[in-house]
Amino acid sequence: MPVAVAVEFLHAASLVLDDLPSMDDAPRRRGLPALHLSWGVATAELASVSLLARAFEVVASDEALSRALASRILGELARAVGAEGCCAGQAADLAADPTRLALDDLESIHARKTGALFVAAVRGGALAGGAGERTLSALTLYARNLGLAFQITDDLLDHEGDPESMGKNPAREGHRANFASVLGTDSAHRLVDELLAAAVEALQPIGRRGEVLADLARVVRDRRS
Amino acid sequence: MTSSRPTLDEARSRLRELGYLDAGVDRLLFRPVFEWRGGAFLIAILLGAFSAALTALAAVESSEPGFALSAAASLSLLAHVFVADLLPAALLALALAAFASRARTPGVAATMAGMVSALLVFALWIGGTYSLGREVSARTLLWAIPIGVVALFLAAAVRLGFLALAFARAGLLPRRTLRRVFAAAAALGLLVAILLLFSRRERPPAPSPQPSPRSAPLVVLAMDGLDLDGAGKNGPAAEVLARGATGWWPAERGSPPEIWTTLATGVDPTMHRVRALTRVRPLGSPLSLRPPWGTGWYLRGIGPRLGLVANAPVSHSDRKSLDFWEVAASAGISSLSVGWWAAGPWPGAVVVENREVFARAADGPGADREALRVFESDSRKGFALSTVYLPGCDIAREDPAARTAAQAPIAELLRREVGRANAGEIVLVVLAADSHPRAGALGRMVVFDGSAAVDGRSDSGSRQKSIQVLPVDAAPSILARMGIPPARDLAGQPVASLFAPGTLETATVLSYGPRVAPPASTAPERDQEYLEKLRSLGYLQ
């Protein structure tokens, strides 16, 4: 559970930063005004940093984890948000011409900005559960495919979704190139299916223990908001 | 950067390069599954039905070598079984489809479904082959090649269809093809099939047994339905037979061909394989056949009702063991056989099939008259071994008057032949069995062998000996009395106590070898005439 809480804290922190005027400058998040619009940019930045610190704290203070294991999990989480992960992805996103992104660009941004956290979440949980290297390898493959499927679905919803149910402003996202616009919606839908298929198949080595994760993949496929 | 939109294939390819999807994802699998979805099961259904048809052909060819050389017969059998098995294949596919839509791990389940399908093909092959013959020739194993290939394709098709349906519900597909699993399973299946079939491999051809010459000719009278334990108990035939040395066995109900072929071959029906009165001829086939396991529901059930499959009479092609006159003829002993079931041409023997006898008979007594006319005609004299099957009493079993009428000439025949035996002109063996025995009835082998049969008294003055024997003892006893070494692989053995002392051959041989007969190739019209005759005589409903 501490690893799940930590991942949620990291995710929340990344969303707060992502919405800032210096970043995506998003006015709404999950159907509500973005944090910086309600409490100010400084408070939002401090809240984000606090969430990051708290994420590492809950893992580090978990007595159920050995020191070595906690250290390894913290390393996974740190890489996901650091210069190889979310920060790098966000930097690339900001530097890119949003109207001229190609598939490789989108993937590169996604892999670090979103995908890295998917991988960290799955690997962190697996490490806490005592998974071996073979299981970790399978779960990493699962997380990579699931993460990209999630992102493409997200982009498809930006194109096709109901703004009210999504809690975002699709019109604002509309000018940015994304997977849906770069691939076309038909191809994007097809690739989501194939990525989810590959994700679930990657779970085969862990047998029935992977069923919950397979269900999660179905949730991504059926997601409407 | 490029402003042009990548195609789906390009995007898929690029994502694979970037480590998504999986390079091992079978593109040949993904694409058709996504395109066809549940329709992919159609291929599995077609392949499944074809596999079943191919195993049926392999089984028939194994039992009747040369069947597959007839293109018309092969295609006809393939077409019939293929079309018939589309229905069960579709039902199996429906069951799999229901399972597929609920499978939590479709990849594993699909692989298992494919493997089970392939195993079913091997089971049909082995079961079908065994059902038609307990021995399998080496060339049968060559069928492993086409059957293995078809089973492999079927396994892949079932897996594909399974995944397609699983995907249709869940949108999930496995990333690995598991081809190696199928290849390994196919290899294992082939190995098991070959080992199983090889364990029942056909006996090698055996050299003809060398007889020790005996002086007196041997006559075998085979009488069906004398009812010696019922109405015929005190009849003239029973009176004559009471003077012989008798071996008896509890009678069991069975088809006339089955019972009398057991007596003539010395092996059980599981070995000689003559069971029913009829075989089948699929529409369009010039050859008739016995339905292998797995096809009877159509070839014996639905097909005839739809007019797509005709009955054909039992044939010597059904028989996998040698009749005693065939063994004798192979040993160089002149032999005559008249009227026996499932009898057919054999080198060195004069064989009059019972269809020829029945063709000129209108009833039971008529059948006996015709059989005896042929048997006793001048041109048939001089055989060292001669035998005749007399079905009259069995045919007339529902008509007491006709049955009594049939018994009179039989009693006369018995008196005459017993007289010859007592005079030392012949050795007489009477086989009296009943295809429709009453409870407690007995089958009998009654022997009149010179001094062993003297007016109902043995040398010791007691009643003639009467001992329990087996039906399968008849053939080896007759052969041993002819001086032919009995084969050790027969189920029965000579009953020396029924014959004159020291007259039976004591040496043995390992085997007489298998009986390999060409496929039954009589014209359908002739078969229908024969069947009509069997119907008119009460054998068939």
pLDDT averaged per 10 residues in sequence order, chain A, 225 residues: 92 92 88 92 94 93 90 92 89 85 89 90 91 87 92 86 58 69 89 87 81 85 74
Minimal C-alpha gap between A179 and chain B (Å) = 10
Range name among A203-207, A214-218, B280-284, B484-488 with the lowest pLDDT average: A203-207
Q: Is the ipTM of this complex over 0.90?
A: no
Shortest distance, CA B182 to any CA of chain A (angstroms): 18
Q: Give the pLDDT band of residue B334 (cuts 50, 70, 90).
A: very high
Average pLDDT, whole number, for chain B?
A: 84
Which DSSP string do the residues of B217-248 spell out, in sequence order?
Answer: -EEEEEEE---TTTTTTTSHHHHHHTTSEEEE
Strand order in the sheet with B349-352: B349-352, B335-338, B385-390, B218-224, B427-433, B442-448, B245-250, B466-468
Interchain CB contact of B169 with A (< 8 Å): no
| Residue tagged 């004299």 (tokens) | B381
Residues of B in contact with A103 (CB under 8 A): 6, 11, 14
Contact B117, B155 (CB under 8 A): yes
pLDDT tens digit sequence for A106-126 = 888 888 988 999 999 999 999
pTM across the whole model: 0.63
**What is the CATH superfamily name and number for domain B223-277+315-515?**
Alkaline Phosphatase, subunit A (3.40.720.10)
List of domains in chain A? 67-222 (1.10.600.10)
B510 or B206: which carries more pLDDT confidence?
B510
Mutation to test the A interface, candidates B14, B30, B175, B181, most A Cβ within 10 Å: B175
For residue B248, which phi and psi values (nearest 5 degrees)? -130, 160
Token digits of residue B173: 């597909």
Comparing A91-95, B299-303, B332-336, B473-477, which segment has the lowest mean pLDDT?
A91-95
pLDDT score, position B379: 56
Instruction: Give dist(CA B124, CA B296) in Å, integer.
Output: 12
Which residues are within 8 A (CB) of A203 and not within 5 positions of it... i.e. 6 or more apart? A138, A139, A142, A210, A213, A214
What are the residues facing B335 on neighbouring strands? B349, B385
Q: Mutating which of A97, A190, A193, A194 best tests the B interface, going by the most B Cβ atoms within 10 A?
A: A194
Q: How much is the average pLDDT of B47-74?
A: 92
Q: Assess A224–B contact: CB distance below 8 Å, yes or no.
A: no
Q: How many percent of chain B have pLDDT more than 90?
A: 40
Mean pLDDT of B317-325: 90
CB pair distance less than 8 Å for B170 and A190: no
Task: Pick A187's closest partner by Cβ from B11, B172, B176.
Answer: B11
Q: What is the 3-state secondary structure (H, E, C) of B512-529?
A: CCCCCCCCCCCCHHHHHH
Length of chain B: 541
Structure confidence at residue A165 (pLDDT): 58
A101, A103, A182, A191: best to mutate for the B interface, most B CBs within 10 A:
A103
A178 neighbourhood in chain B, CB within 8 Å: none
Q: Please answer whether residues B269 and B109 qualify as being in contact, where contact means their C-beta atoms are separated by less than 8 angstroms.
A: no
Return the residue matching tokens 């699962």.
A142
CB contact under 8 A, B20 and A148: yes
Pinpoint the alpha helices (H) of chain A. 2-19, 35-39, 41-60, 67-81, 86-95, 103-110, 116-128, 133-160, 163-166, 170-173, 179-183, 185-202, 211-222
Q: Which residues of A touch B5 (CB under 8 A)?
A: 182-184
pLDDT at B171: 52
Tell me what the mean pLDDT of segment B411-424 comes to: 91
Q: Which residue of A has its CA nearest to B172?
A: A197
- Cross-chain residue pair B22–A141, CB shorter than 8 Å: yes
Interface contact flag, A104 B167, Cβ < 8 Å: no
Any CB–CB contact under 8 A between B139 and chain A?
no
| A204 in contact with chain B, both atoms CB, cutoff 8 A | yes
Question: Quick one: CA torsion of B283, B286, B287, B290, rounded to 10 degrees?
Answer: 0
Instruction: Give the residue extent of every domain in chain B.
Output: 19-199, 223-277+315-515
Check CB contact under 8 Å for A148 and B15: yes
Residues of B with Cβ-Cβ distance to A207 under 8 angstroms: 105
Cβ <8 Å between A191 and B6: no
Which pLDDT value is given to residue B28? Answer: 39
**Pairwise CB contact (< 8 Å): A201 & B176:** yes
| Secondary structure of residue B126 in the 3-state scheme | helix
Q: Are B110 and B162 in contact (CB under 8 A)?
A: yes
Distances (CA, A) of B453 to B90, B314, B462: 67, 37, 12
Locate A200 and state its tokens.
């679930």
A190 close to B (CB below 8 A)? yes
Can you tell me the distance from the alpha carbon of B429 to that of A152, in angstroms, rounded to the nearest whole number? Answer: 92
* Contact predicate B33/B164, CB 8 Å: yes
Q: Which residue has the higher pLDDT, B455 or B502?
A: B502
For B21, which of A104, A105, A198 is closest by C-beta distance?
A198
Sort out which chain A residues have CB atoms less than 8 A from B11's CB and list them: 103, 183, 187, 191
- The answer to whether A145 contacts B20, with C-beta atoms less than 8 Å apart, is yes
Pairing of strands B442-448, B385-390: unpaired
> Between residues 457 and 496 of chain B, which touch chain A (CB distance below 8 Å)?
none
Q: Does A184 touch chain B (CB under 8 A)?
A: yes
User: In terms of Cα–Cα distance, which of A47, A73, A78 is closest to A59?
Assistant: A73
Chain B residues inside the 8 Å CB shell of A104: 14, 18
How far apart CA B487 and CA B477 sit, in angstroms, is 11
B420 near A CB under 8 A: no
Tell me which DSSP letter residue B538 carries: T
| The predicted structure's pLDDT at residue B298 | 95
Separation CA B38–CA B306 (nearest Å) = 31
- In whole angstroms, give the CA distance from residue A103 to residue B18: 11
Q: What is the DSSP letter of B457?
A: B
Mean pLDDT calculated for residue range B150-173: 76
More confident residue, B61 or B463: B61
A 138-157 residues with CB < 8 A to B: 141, 144-145, 148
Q: How many helices (H) and strands (E) does chain B have?
A: 19, 10
